[in-house]
Structure 1
Amino acid sequence: MYDQSFNIRTLSGCFQPEDFKEWKKLKVPDERQKTILLASIRAQQGFLGVNLSSSVIRRKNVYWLDEVSDILVLRKIKNNIVKTNRMKSVPRTVIVNSLKSLVSECSQYRVYRLDIKSFYESFKADFVYKHVDGLRNLSVKTKQLLKELLYSYHINGGHGIPRGLSVSAVLSESLMQSFDEFVRGGEAVFYYARYVDDIIIVTGGYEENHSFLRSLRSALPQGLKFNNGKKFFVSDVIKKSPKSKQNTHANMLFSFEYLGYRFVITDNVIECNIRGLYRQVDIDLARSKVNKIKSRIVYSIISFNKNSDFDLLCDRLMFLSGNFSVPDSDRMLKFLSGIHYNYPLLNARNSEGLSEIDSFLKKAILSSYGKVFSKFFMKLTQEQKCRLLKFSFIRGHEKCYFFHYSATKMFKIQECWKYV
């Protein structure tokens, strides 16, 4: 039976491999025991009055705890919530594969692409406290510690739940469970997925879309609202395709972006012995991601124009076009990231997005037009230009080039585009 208590044994089990790299003193047994003891004391005394450190990233306040002992208690709270609520997250790749398969079906459907505005900050405090109290399988002590942490956050001017803490990601999933169940249970709904605040819904297309959206808004947890910006998308009804239709050049019926990919649904209908009839659906890198990578290339060039550090420029282009490993937000085991691992479902050779980025980089290196690029062109030697022209996002994805960076090196690489 799972032990929810906060004691020396359970708290010592909350260490993660990355902790011993970030806090060298933990390698010393006496220091490690001292940290566990402090965590036990924190669990006994509670989180009232605790100060969360914060920083503004992409115009959002992001919070963290500085003391390792406090982090151990926070991890234990998170583990208790996960274990007692049987929470499972669906990987992005699984969602994208399922969605591609569904929108390739020849039956009638409509797609809703929604996202929630200021997701973490918008939950009403009263709703959050009431929800925590209502978690039936969660121990009283865990509820107490979690509510004390949230209360300390709120009295210092925080709203909703603190963005950045690992427990906030788990708590937000718990807070959204009733909404998830409501949408999945809808008669009109064929498919529903939510990745944090990004939502995709596929219906049979027979519902009145304005009425359907009103029902979704009314089911959201208190304080949450849908964004009406560029991510908001409702497709026309895609009619059933009763027969095979293969054109030399497929025409696009509609497209939408979700989880970093661009889905293009075409009018090509293919017949297969196993699947029967299905629509041709192409996926590519989302326009927003293409623009983000281009912006980071430009910021890298601007930085080089100022400091003339060619090796750092190469490191930055290698970082953008390659792959690497990073620790997660809770400093647990590393996960793989980069152009291939972030978008594994792309066909590199057929990707218009990757091809566009490669062309942009080539023009940036060889062009003498514009204030930024002309200065860049003048500073580079012919040998340096040849070296830079070897970088390719298509090859980086296709060959899965992998590089290792220290935390210090990674910080220096990302410094020039920190919040882009």
Structure 2
Amino acid sequence: MLNQSINEKNLKLLKGRTFQKFLKGNDSESAFTKVLDDLNNKLSDSAYAFDDFVPKMVNGKPGYDCANPEDELVLKKLNDNIKRLFKVKTSDRHAIVKQTISLLQDSQPISIIRLDIKHFYENIDRNKIISFVNNEWLLSHQNRMILKSFNESSQITSTPGLPRGLSISSTLSELGLRKFDSKVRKIKDVYFYGRFVDDMVIFCTKNPGEIIDEISDLLTDLDLNLEFNDKTFIFNAEADNKKTEFIDYLGYKIKFETSPEQTKPRELTVQISDKKIHKIKDRLHKSFRSYLRTRTFDLLLARLKFLTGNQYIIGDIDRTKLKSGIYYNYPLLTTNFQLKQLDTFYQKLIISKAPHIEKSMSMIKKHNSTGGVKKNSRLQQIQRMSFSFGFEQKIMNSFDRKISRKIKGCW
């Protein structure tokens, strides 16, 4: 049986990343005791007194973060309890894309639908999901009370739907769409359905327009206040006359044959999506603009390493070292030509006449000339950056939370 209690033993299992975030990694017994005392002072039999959440931007949209370690630990334990009791499993981006690629390689006639839910978190009915959680009577009284306190916090009540930036929102959204996901998979002639947050992909054997109508009806029948945006992609095997087609999904751009030979797998190439390529180039420019303002070379170098390499993301509970970066975000690429294009773009960028680049490189070269010839000069470090090398060699960087925040600060 799951121990749901908000107690010392359970919270110690969750404290790692929180203590790095709020206490600069100080996980001493005295520091933990202080946090536990502060938490207990805010916890009563009938409520938990959350401090005001801290506003922040999440992927360009308003969201929130916890203001202190005790609030974050309480929400972490509540979220962990809900995930375990309701068996909530977050979709695996890598697995969904891998399955999509596998199905696209099949030579059988297919129709494909890609749908994107508009304003996903903002349009989820938070109160309805929380009522469902409470009515199942799986949560302990203490956890139900904390969930109620969270839902009645002034900033949460004034936020439409689920607040972005808090891990509990992801868990509650998955619960809210569980029945919908199950019913979509049962639609006749749908033989694969995958959803990662607000992005859906569907493979079917009948007219995709009819499938979309059925899915829209499901949203209405289940009283889900959700609708699809204009990113809808439809490939109808019976109506499309093109030799090749593209589908953008979860950061990848997949090019596939529309009419393959029956006896051979469908030919396809897996690339990084145009949107992600544009974002990388934009971040390169922003990194140099920031350097021109701050003249902090180590931070510029860290940003370039971040973009061209890979880094660890430390898990909260099981402390599994997750990885992200140019390789680990796109391990399914079938061609490296975009990486070589990025390398070419970068090398041209650092010798370009764009004012923010030219001035930045001038400062870097000037430092070299005043510091004498060095084997690992600043200029050489800048010139050595390579997306292809970072991908092929799976180059790993090590950035702590403080540096990671600074790296992303100008993006």
Encode CA deviations 1:114-173: one digit per residue, 9 max, x unaligned: 122222221234423332233353334423321221121466522212211121111111
Gaps of 5+ in 2: 369-376
- What CA distance in whole angstroms lies between the structure 1 residues aligned with 2:150 and 2:21? 27
Are the structure 2 counterparts of residues 105 and 80 from structure 1 closer, same or farther at C-alpha, using a change threshold of 3 Å? same
- Verify the 8 A CA contact 1:25 1:32 in the aligned structure 2: no
- Verify the 8 A CA contact 1:165 1:329 in the aligned structure 2: no
- Alignment pair present for 1:148 and 2:149: yes
Once the two structures are TM-superposed, the CA of residue 103 in structure 1 deviates from its matched residue by 1.4
- Verify the 8 A CA contact 1:164 1:329 in the aligned structure 2: no
- Alignment pair present for 1:357 and 2:347: no
- What CA distance in whole angstroms lies between the structure 2 residues aligned with 1:50 and 1:308? 37
Gaps of 5+ in 1: 241-250
- What CA distance in whole angstroms lies between the structure 2 residues aligned with 1:283 and 1:28? 47
Encode CA deviations 1:171-225: one digit per residue, 9 max, x unaligned: 1111110111111111121111111111111111335445245335435653322
Equivalent position of 1:247 in the other structure: none
Once the two structures are TM-superposed, the CA of residue 364 in structure 1 deviates from its matched residue by 0.7
Q: What does 1:103-252 align with in structure 2 at a 5 Å threshold?
A: 103-153=104-154, 157-209=158-210, 211-218=213-220, 222-228=224-230, 231-237=231-237
Equivalent position SS for 1:255: strand
- What CA distance in whole angstroms lies between the structure 2 residues aligned with 1:14 and 1:376? 43
Are the structure 2 counterparts of residues 280 and 135 from structure 1 closer, same or farther at C-alpha, using a change threshold of 3 Å? farther
- Alignment pair present for 1:408 and 2:402: yes
- Verify the 8 A CA contact 1:110 1:236 in the aligned structure 2: yes
- What CA distance in whole angstroms lies between the structure 2 residues aligned with 1:414 and 1:150? 30
Are the structure 2 counterparts of residues 211 and 197 from structure 1 closer, same or farther at C-alpha, using a change threshold of 3 Å? closer
Equivalent residue for 1:286, pick from 244, 252, 273: 273
What TM-score comes out, normalization by structure 1 length?
0.83
Q: What does 1:47-66 align with in structure 2 at a 5 Å threshold?
A: 47=48, 50-66=51-67
Equivalent position of 1:313 in the other structure: 300
- What CA distance in whole angstroms lies between the structure 2 residues aligned with 1:18 and 1:332? 12
Equivalent position of 1:389 in the other structure: 383
Are the structure 2 counterparts of residues 154 and 85 from structure 1 closer, same or farther at C-alpha, using a change threshold of 3 Å? same
Equivalent position SS for 2:305: helix
How many residues align? The count is 398
- What CA distance in whole angstroms lies between the structure 1 residues aligned with 2:105 and 2:359? 48
- Alignment pair present for 1:256 and 2:247: yes
Once the two structures are TM-superposed, the CA of residue 28 in structure 1 deviates from its matched residue by 3.8
- Verify the 8 A CA contact 2:63 2:164 in the aligned structure 1: yes
Are the structure 2 counterparts of residues 53 and 416 from structure 1 closer, same or farther at C-alpha, using a change threshold of 3 Å? closer
- What CA distance in whole angstroms lies between the structure 2 residues aligned with 1:197 and 1:91? 13
Equivalent position SS for 1:194: strand
The sequence identity of aligned pairs, in percent, is: 28
Q: CA RMSD in A?
A: 3.1
Equivalent position of 2:3 in the other structure: 3
- What CA distance in whole angstroms lies between the structure 1 residues aligned with 2:64 and 2:314? 17
Are the structure 2 counterparts of residues 206 and 14 from structure 1 closer, same or farther at C-alpha, using a change threshold of 3 Å? same
- What CA distance in whole angstroms lies between the structure 1 residues aligned with 2:105 and 2:200? 19
Shifted more, 197-206 versus 389-398: the winner is 197-206
